[in-house]
């Protein structure tokens, strides 16, 4: 994740609940496209493939082909980049405020 365009693609990919469910489905291990289609029975295969393509373009999944099967692997590095850029700084500030509040309450 080197620039804002990369982060924009990650945020766009994560904005959709179907794509988040697909990522949840592969967080414990790679799944074939067929397995992911079965995990989303309300969607046709073409729609699932479109979601997977967007996840792949955001580099949230890595695809490895084995014969006729397409294995989808989670790539957590873009999520870590979002965490490092957006979550961690705000979490540090929140913890500092809580520590300050604790000191004030205990000092009172």
Whichever domain contains 18, its CATH number is 1.10.10.10
**The predicted structure's pLDDT at residue 72:** 98
Indicate the average pLDDT of the chain: 93
Q: Which domain holds residue 41?
A: 4-107
- Alpha carbon distance 102, 82 (integer Å): 29
CB contact at 8 A, 35 and 45:
no
The mean pLDDT of 45-61, rounded to a whole number, is: 97
**H or E stretch covering 21:** helix 17-26
Query: Beta-strand (E) ranges in 34-101?
Result: 61-66, 69-74
Q: What number of other Cβ atoms are within 10 A of residue 35's Cβ?
A: 14
| Residue bearing the bigger pLDDT, 101 or 34 | 34
Spatial CA neighbour of 23 closest among 7, 40, 6: 40
**Number of separate domains in the chain:** 1
């Amino acid at each position: 994740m080197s620039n804002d365009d990369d982060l924009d693609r990650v945020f766009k990919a994560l904005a959709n609940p179907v794509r988040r469910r697909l990522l949840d489905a592969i967080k414990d291990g790679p799944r074939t496209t067929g397995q992911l289609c079965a995990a989303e029975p309300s969607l046709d295969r073409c729609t699932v493939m479109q979601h997977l393509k967007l996840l792949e373009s955001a580099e949230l999944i890595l695809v490895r082909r084995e014969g006729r099967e397409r294995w989808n692997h989670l790539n957590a590095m873009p999520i870590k980049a979002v965490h490092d850029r957006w979550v961690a700084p705000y979490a540090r500030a929140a913890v500092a405020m809580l520590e300050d509040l604790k000191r004030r309450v205990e000092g009172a």
